[in-house]
Structure 1
Amino acid sequence: MPLIPAARFAPTGTALAIASLLLAGCASTPAPGSRSVTIERTAYGIPHITAPDYEGVAYGVAYAHAQDNVCQTAEYLLTARGERSQYLGATGTGDFGLGRMTNAQIDLFVRNHMDDAALARAADTDAEVRAALRGYVAGYNRYLQDTGPNGLPEACRGKPWVRPMTQADLSRTTELSMIQGGLAALAGAVMAAEPPAAKTASAQPAVDPQQAALEIARLSFNANPEGGELGSNGWAFGRNATPDGRGLVLGNPHFPWFGINRFWEMHLTIPGSMDVMGATGGLSPTVAIGFNKDVAWTHTVSTGKRFTLYELKLDPSDPTVYIVDGQRRKMTAKTVVLPAESAAAGAQPARKTFYASEWGPVISLPRAGLGWSATTAYAIRDVNTLNTRSARAWMKMGRASSMAELRDAMGNQGMPWINTIGADRQGNAMYADLSVVPDVSAEQLKSCAPSAPAAGLFGTAGLTVLDGSRAACDWKRDSAAAMPGAIPPARMPVIVTPDWVQNSNDSFWLSNPNIAAPANISPLVGPVGVPQRLRTRSGIQEIENRLAGRDGLPGNKMGAEQLRNVIFRDKNLAGDLVMEDLAAACRSAGASLSADQQTGCRVLAAWNRTSTPEAKGALLFREFWRKAKDLPKVWRVPFDPARPVATPAGLDMATTATREAVFKSLGDAVAAVRAAGFAPDVTLADAQYREVRGQKVAIPGGDEFEGVLNKVESQGQPVIGPKGYGINYGSSYIQVVGFDERGPVAQALLTYGQSSDPASPRAFDQLPLFSQKKWLPMPFHRADVEAQRVGAPTVLAY
């Protein structure tokens, strides 16, 4: 087990200045090369990283992550630097925010937004956090040094854009992660903002509310009708709900199978100080979802708002001057010009002038009624800008020994846009939305209402627009908040119980329907008394059926085995809700239906109402319900806030217009499936699979709108195509964690494997486990790691 000496890179320019800030007060840092980190791999390439301090652990994390994902990281650093056009072409595209943009647009936005000096000033002052970030940068650079440009995977081998990471680079990637559900999601609207020409109408044009809602939903973490939204299921059970009286946690994030938001499994140990295992996303030295010997936790995307818009009242003589409390204020203008080498031959480099108010950058989203006219403009303010607190929160969570300590770990408001669901070995379960939300009360929403159309966007699209012409409409500053302008933790919803809690991306309202929801919560945290997404309803039904002993499984407690069975049951709740009425209407209509409609009736009558690979009819139902779900008044039983888990339900086939529209949707679905080259009664596996090393691997699960807990979907392809469904989103890192007298008993899997390099044996090597509903026991204890170790350890001096 040779000790490989450390390699060092000399930072220059801005990187040197920022590094000096981060190193301030660290005179006691040991000499380079005097310590070492050990990386051991077990089955499926899971690294177990041990070092005497967090700097070493982070060094090992970055090195091991680069072994699996160096090209992915190197390309993302281009994004963070605003250099995509220069190396990948201005007209090429890349992932950004919640969608894709041209490289030129990404670069212009990033170069306008990023302020390295501000990020350095906002950096966490905790010495261990700074050491960890320093170690991560050094570990990645060490991998580049050890491997050399010609030893890299094909996607980035010998590429000039693969360069050492700087501390500024890492800070920028964190900033992009923090704002991806807010400002970055509206990057296109920021790019579109231009002062109106003199001939522009003085008022905003009228916009259909439904069109505005749809336009805004496309920018949402968890309401995008075209798919690709981030989501998750998180369940936790306390002593009253488990057979052994200990805590039990399900983590099932629904994230992309590509890009920087991919998860990566790891086990981090600082002897005598920390021992935590799970997965992380992005470029992070901390476990984001995982467990230690006493606690387990997961995250789900919260309904909380991450930004507000401000409606600006403009000076009629100058659309770049706005009025606050009767005073004229000039917008700032910043012109960004990309380097000449970023332009195609003979073309001028891209340039853009950005405008900003004291509330934030000016945007333009005319299809949502948020354009820039001669009298009105809109600015966006993101509460997660300069949020550098997440690393410290996750470090403390990894060391927590109870739900109380897990909750306290999030007190610095480092969780940007996520709920936390957890349980401990003592049998306490917790739901906590301690994410960062602007401090705007229900009263302030009323008193600071903007124009009627803009104010109406809160009800129709969940978008908060405040009156920017009054300073009183600023966010509240509560001294208890770690982030000025954010709601402090004491006013956010938290439930700790010996029973159970769940979240599937709806609000805190029904975390457990038997427990009163926290009161006096800001509307910006999430709605109550509204229809729930089908996954939420399905999860609550599954939990309640299990604990009532009416789900066909033995007993009436939720053990780890039952929990694994439930999440992979792949029940299609939409099918359960509508198929009885559809089948009855099919029988009644008989030969009066068209041939395609009769085929649809026959196939769906035989369907088992699951989205398992072997289910015949699951494919057809998906295409049918995709078309029928949004029909006016399609439900027979409307939503009842007193029965939110059971309603809405049924198909209103007694109404002629609805019945005809439903049957048309069914016939159209049959035609669409055939046009894609599939028979209507094929199994789901025939159309929902991925080729892995020449073998078709069936993918279980269903789409968001079907209410299948095991959610999978295709970003960019909302309907079936000639090759079926190109699944690239959904169930990713999945864990079920309980406890015994020694500590955690965990089983997990990572659907797409550890590596983003298609040539790596670790790319999609766990997909067959997912296909066969098998789980991988997690080797947490030292003896288990040693027994399952694959290959020789890597020991790196740092």
Structure 2
Amino acid sequence: MRYKSVSLIVLACALAGQADAQPQGLEASITRTTYGIPHITAKNWKSIGYGVGYAYAQDNLCMLAEDFATVAGERSLHFGTKEKTSLGFDPLDNLAADTFFRSNLDLATLRRDSLKTSKIARDLSEGYVAGYNRLLRDLGPDRVPEACRGKAWVRPITTDDMLRLTEKNALRSGALVLAQAIADAAPPLEAKAEKVAGLTLPNTEASGLGSNGWAFGAETTANGRGLIVGNPHFPWSGPSRFYQLHITIPGVVDVMGATLAGSPLPTIGFNKDIAWTHTVSAARHTTVFELTLDPADPTRYLVDGKSEAMQVRTIQVPTPEGPVQRTVYTSRFGPLMVIPSAGLNWTKERAFAIRDANSGNNRLIDAWLGINLAKNVGDIRNAVTTTLGIPWVNTIAADRYGNALLADVTAVPNVSAQKIKDCATPRSAPLAQRLIVLDGSKSACEWDQAPGTPAPGLMPASDQAIVERRDYVANSNDSYWLTNPKSPYRVLSPILGTAEVARSLRTRSGLIEIDRRLTGTDGFTSTKVDHETARAMQYANKSLAAELTLDAVLGLCADQADLAAACQTLKSWDRLYNNDSKGAYLFWAFWELADRLPGKWATPFDLKDPVNTPRDLVTTGPVADQLRGALRSAVERLTKEGHALDVAWGSVQFVTRNGENIPIHGAHGNLGVLNVQVSEKVGKTLVPRSGTSYLQIVGFDEQGPVADAILSYAQSTDPASPYYADQTKAYAEKRWNRLPFTPAQIQAAKVGETLKLKE
């Protein structure tokens, strides 16, 4: 039997039926300002959720509706079993995605656990559902955006959909990125070799999912108050895009910033007293357990010598051709997984299971609620540490009183350095850079239980990294260790990231630029940070890789006749990644190869100087020959693509919006560029996949917050919206938007009429 799409008439009936079930007593107003930013005002939390759900769906209905279909495990039904989606870093087929969500998101458990959250969190979620469904009713089938008009997956939602979406967001950096490996795990005689052969370990650095976050305190700002610089590097497409908004309940909450799909309140932003941002943490939020199997049965495993049976669950995945049956396997440690390329195979002797600390983490809304209501960085610290609800990001904050905070406190497995050592298996060391592998044959290797944590097996906040200072804190996705070079943090469990080893070029670039700002060696007259200098730092587009190596590279190619043109191009290059920078693409192509060369640095990493080492490119012997070879390959690449060696960067890296090519400045963080853009090669051009997204600089004056921001990819994913490309063009021109926060500022920047919703 073939499933048929829901017709417009059926959809209309569904919407009409949903209207009868709507909660009453909801009322919100939505005033839009420059670039379509919605300012949502209501009298209670449920009505705030109502307004947020409505406004978000106005701008991104098709994207959000598809996300609800994804978490419901309905992608195969609506988009086909062979088509692919992306849940984490790499594409996976729809059947695997459906299998993952149908087997790992247990609604009965999610519903039960939701009762443990605050009433405010539940009200926000219920209001969001009502607002989304209200928009569907207001549009009617005929006015749904063209991209999803008449699609069966555009349907009214329930709180179950919100529970699934919240769980998906919590798992985003853990089990979710291994969904294909989990969905395709099977005992040896049933292994799906053709599907699992190409699976690889997730690489967060290659994915570009990251951020820069700086918080400056009273000792370093021009006015002695706190100042935040937030630059999250998130995807340019899909539900992980940021969305700007402002929520107000008079006398209760007044917060502006940005959020992700399905979140009913800002997850990055500011109120009158505090400002905060997030960066993806280097901590591991999962561990893999190596199971020793019962020789008599590969679906049983041994713990302390006793045989235990795996849980075997058969699920039905709906498809256009009819339901497909899939079998999934779970151990006491979590679901089974297979990644043959990493040696994680299910054989007759061993198998591998993954446990995610964020499984069942419904505390994240309450954690962000606490941040929204904070009056100083101490309140933020309290919200983060008591809930352990922040799933996989550092929290970086500053307050109007001049305090700066970095809390690398998330839902992390409570696994000490000693336990990692004692529970190692032969697979542990080779995979240590990507995964923590523990011996599942010993019950002593399970996560430790600490008193007072909101869920068993979580690492208490006291064992994680918290830094409060009056000068500054900074993070660019390396670990907590070098938050401030003046005072490196003590070494913690390896599960929280590496320490006392070389930092990334992007981390070093940020710390170098901060030092130049505070020593007055960056061209500005003062030695303090304010909005003007912070804006300049964000759009500088400097490349630390070029700063460290280009002079040496020019020396290597000076006497090479076949590299004369390349040498001249690089010599003339401004060493920046601005849209008009000529030679930037040639160095980009060169560094993509040179960065991988071992032994290229003459001065190794020095623990006494972690910001400025390693450095000094090797210019003799085999390394020199390899570097020249990399430059030759770069020249060949540009020539083959039809680019002049001095092609302007903005002619290579751009996005196309409604037929218009918009040049995008910035480049990959591996180049030591702070304004990150991780781009995919499409033909002979580079198209941003992730990078600078919601860029904000927030300080305080006597009246309240002063915020400059830009959303690089704009508010809406609908090509018909006036807010589809407006901020992208502003970003391309290095413009900013002074955010309106007070009623008078909002009125001055108002666009159109205020929308009043009530039911």
Q: TM over 0.5, yes or no?
A: yes
Q: CA deviation at 1:723?
A: 4.1
1:119-171 superposed Cα distances (whole Å, 9 cap, x missing partner): 11121431111111110111101111111111111011122221111111111
Q: Aligned to 2:367, what secondary structure does the other structure show?
A: helix
Superposition pairs for residues 450-529 of structure 1, below 5 Å? 450=425, 452=426, 454-459=427-432, 461-517=433-489, 519=490, 521-529=492-500
Match for residue 553 of structure 2 among 582, 586, 591: 582
Does 2:251 match 1:269?
no
Superposition pairs for residues 619-768 of structure 1, below 5 Å? 619-654=585-620, 656-715=621-680, 717=681, 721-768=682-729
1:636 & 1:578 partners in 2: Cα distance?
A: 11
1:636 & 1:515 partners in 2: Cα distance?
A: 27
Does 2:153 match 1:180?
no
Q: For the Cα contact (< 8 Å) 2:26–2:50, is it kept in 1?
A: no
1:33-66 superposed Cα distances (whole Å, 9 cap, x missing partner): 4452111000110000000011001100000001
Q: Aligned to 1:276, what secondary structure does the other structure show?
A: strand
Superposition pairs for residues 332-351 of structure 1, below 5 Å? 332-339=311-318, 341-343=319-321, 349-351=323-325
In the alignment, what sits opposite 2:520? 549
What code does the residue aligned with 1:769 have?
Answer: A
In the alignment, what sits opposite 1:790? 751
What code does the residue aligned with 1:794 have?
Answer: L
1:159-197 superposed Cα distances (whole Å, 9 cap, x missing partner): 222111111111101111111211111111112312113
Does 2:269 match 1:290?
yes
Does 2:564 match 1:604?
no
In the alignment, what sits opposite 1:84? 75
1:280 & 1:764 partners in 2: Cα distance?
A: 19
Match for residue 565 of structure 1 among 536, 545, 549: 536
311 and 498 in structure 1: CA distance in 2 versus 1, 3 angstrom threshold: same
Superposition pairs for residues 150-229 of structure 1, below 5 Å? 150-197=142-189, 215-216=200-201, 219-220=202-203, 222-224=204-206, 228-229=207-208
Q: For the Cα contact (< 8 Å) 1:235–1:500, is it kept in 2?
A: yes
Q: For the Cα contact (< 8 Å) 1:482–1:488, is it kept in 2?
A: no
1:190 & 1:113 partners in 2: Cα distance?
A: 10
1:84-121 superposed Cα distances (whole Å, 9 cap, x missing partner): 11111111122212222111121122111110010111
What code does the residue aligned with 2:511 have?
Answer: I
120-129 or 369-378, which moves further after superposition?
Answer: 120-129
2:155 & 2:23 partners in 1: Cα distance?
A: 22
682 and 447 in structure 1: CA distance in 2 versus 1, 3 angstrom threshold: same
Does 2:411 match 1:436?
yes
1:349-372 superposed Cα distances (whole Å, 9 cap, x missing partner): 533211111101111111101111
In the alignment, what sits opposite 2:293? 314
Q: For the Cα contact (< 8 Å) 1:137–1:167, is it kept in 2?
A: yes
Match for residue 361 of structure 1 among 323, 335, 341: 335
In the alignment, what sits opposite 1:26? none
In the alignment, what sits opposite 1:57? 48
Q: For the Cα contact (< 8 Å) 2:576–2:584, is it kept in 1?
A: yes
| Equivalent residue pairs, number | 740
1:615-655 superposed Cα distances (whole Å, 9 cap, x missing partner): 1110000000001111121122222222211111122112x
What code does the residue aligned with 2:411 have?
Answer: V
What code does the residue aligned with 1:272 have?
Answer: G
Structure 2 unmatched runs, 5+ = 1-14
What code does the residue aligned with 1:350 have?
Answer: V
Q: CA deviation at 1:767?
A: 1.1
2:420 & 2:26 partners in 1: Cα distance?
A: 55
57 and 472 in structure 1: CA distance in 2 versus 1, 3 angstrom threshold: same
Q: CA deviation at 1:608?
A: 1.4
Q: For the Cα contact (< 8 Å) 2:18–2:156, is it kept in 1?
A: no
Superposition pairs for residues 296-445 of structure 1, below 5 Å? 296-339=275-318, 341-343=319-321, 349-410=323-384, 411-445=386-420
311 and 632 in structure 1: CA distance in 2 versus 1, 3 angstrom threshold: same
What code does the residue aligned with 2:434 have?
Answer: G
In the alignment, what sits opposite 1:208? none
In the alignment, what sits opposite 2:6? none
In the alignment, what sits opposite 1:23? none
1:337 & 1:323 partners in 2: Cα distance?
A: 30
Q: For the Cα contact (< 8 Å) 2:208–2:678, is it kept in 1?
A: no
Q: For the Cα contact (< 8 Å) 2:117–2:362, is it kept in 1?
A: no
9 and 233 in structure 1: CA distance in 2 versus 1, 3 angstrom threshold: farther
What code does the residue aligned with 1:355 have?
Answer: Y
1:722 & 1:215 partners in 2: Cα distance?
A: 25
2:159 & 2:271 partners in 1: Cα distance?
A: 29
What code does the residue aligned with 2:481 have?
Answer: W
Q: For the Cα contact (< 8 Å) 2:657–2:725, is it kept in 1?
A: yes
In the alignment, what sits opposite 1:536? 507
TM-score by length of 2: 0.95
2:572 & 2:716 partners in 1: Cα distance?
A: 40
494 and 673 in structure 1: CA distance in 2 versus 1, 3 angstrom threshold: same
Identity of aligned residues (%): 42
Q: For the Cα contact (< 8 Å) 1:624–1:666, is it kept in 2?
A: yes
What code does the residue aligned with 1:421 have?
Answer: I
What code does the residue aligned with 2:205 have?
Answer: A
In the alignment, what sits opposite 1:253? 232
In the alignment, what sits opposite 1:121? 112
2:693 & 2:46 partners in 1: Cα distance?
A: 28
What code does the residue aligned with 1:741 have?
Answer: E
What code does the residue aligned with 1:480 have?
Answer: G
Q: CA deviation at 1:10?
A: 5.0
Q: For the Cα contact (< 8 Å) 1:69–1:756, is it kept in 2?
A: yes
What code does the residue aligned with 2:518 have?
Answer: L
Does 2:21 match 1:48?
no
1:214-261 superposed Cα distances (whole Å, 9 cap, x missing partner): 942xx13x323xxx3310000000000001000000010000110000
In the alignment, what sits opposite 1:27? none
8 and 247 in structure 1: CA distance in 2 versus 1, 3 angstrom threshold: farther
2:183 & 2:488 partners in 1: Cα distance?
A: 44
1:332-390 superposed Cα distances (whole Å, 9 cap, x missing partner): 11122322x433xxxx7533211111101111111101111111111000010010011
Q: Aligned to 2:686, what secondary structure does the other structure show?
A: coil
2:191 & 2:86 partners in 1: Cα distance?
A: 36
Q: CA deviation at 1:594?
A: 5.2
Q: For the Cα contact (< 8 Å) 1:538–1:573, is it kept in 2?
A: yes
Q: Aligned to 1:581, what secondary structure does the other structure show?
A: helix
In the alignment, what sits opposite 2:134? 142
379 and 594 in structure 1: CA distance in 2 versus 1, 3 angstrom threshold: farther
289-298 or 156-165, which moves further after superposition?
Answer: 156-165
TM-score by length of 1: 0.90
